Structure 1
Amino acid sequence: MMGPSPLRGIMESQKLTGPNFADWLRNLRIILKNERRLYVLDEDEPEMPPAGAPDEELMKFERYKLDVDIVQCYMLGTMSNELQRQHEDMHPRTMLAHLRELYAKNSRTERYELAKNLFRARMPEGSSYNMGKYENTRRTPQYAKGG
């Protein structure tokens, strides 16, 4: 059993509400990596060992089930109440896939809108690219110009 991780404070300070999905996921992955449980989200679920399997296989499977419960608790404990209700009976990988479906599109859309606005931006009429270039070189220190 591990003691309390100082990294857990990261998750406690910011609950998942939806728009902060990318930050929440990054913080969750940091904590799970630190606690050696990231594999629960990244790897396929192992098959249940057959009857008569070696104790080592049984212990590995039991450890996986315990880690799934812990990861699920981390995920649910760091969500808004509404998201907790929607996801409380899901496996962590299923939960993550559903959250990505809900919120990753939003961040993709936001990036698209930002890029679209940036590409459509125009310089004010009467201004010159060369003038801006000249202004920038006037502010460059002498040592940077080689002189």
Structure 2
Amino acid sequence: MDNYSAAHESLSHAVGAARFAYPAGHIEADNRLSWVLGRLERAYGDDAFYVHLTRDTMATARSFLKRYDSGIMQAYRSSILMGALKKSADVDPLDFCVDYCETVNSNIEAFLKNKTHKMNFALERAAADFADFWERIGARGDLESALGQWQVRHNASV
């Protein structure tokens, strides 16, 4: 794209107002924003174009299962779900991962409920959804080259 900058988790380390200090004409991909939606609302309200990027829930949950004892999954089941490690020891680990996915997606759906400029974007339909996104934001540049990037795997947990 010639008329937008783009980054992945570029301000995920920041606190306060700096957490939302994205430049004008910027596209940010950051799943951690799902945990600060109230502050995102305060910073941008209905003035941004929001994209809810999704992936098949079971595929996502199985991916999180590979990192079950670290990161957000460890935090979710030990701290966010207070005492779940002890009180829910008989729960299948995959069920915790599914619960996490459903929690995040429902938080995002609630946030987007009253937004004017939004779209759902399914990873399984990346090429079609990206072309739609490109058109909806008025992107300029080499669409074919951009579509080719959807064939590159990043952060793949095999």
Normalising by structure 2, we get a TM-score of: 0.30
TM-score by length of 1: 0.31
Tell me which protein shows more helix as a share of its residues: 1
Q: Which has the larger radius of gyration?
A: 1
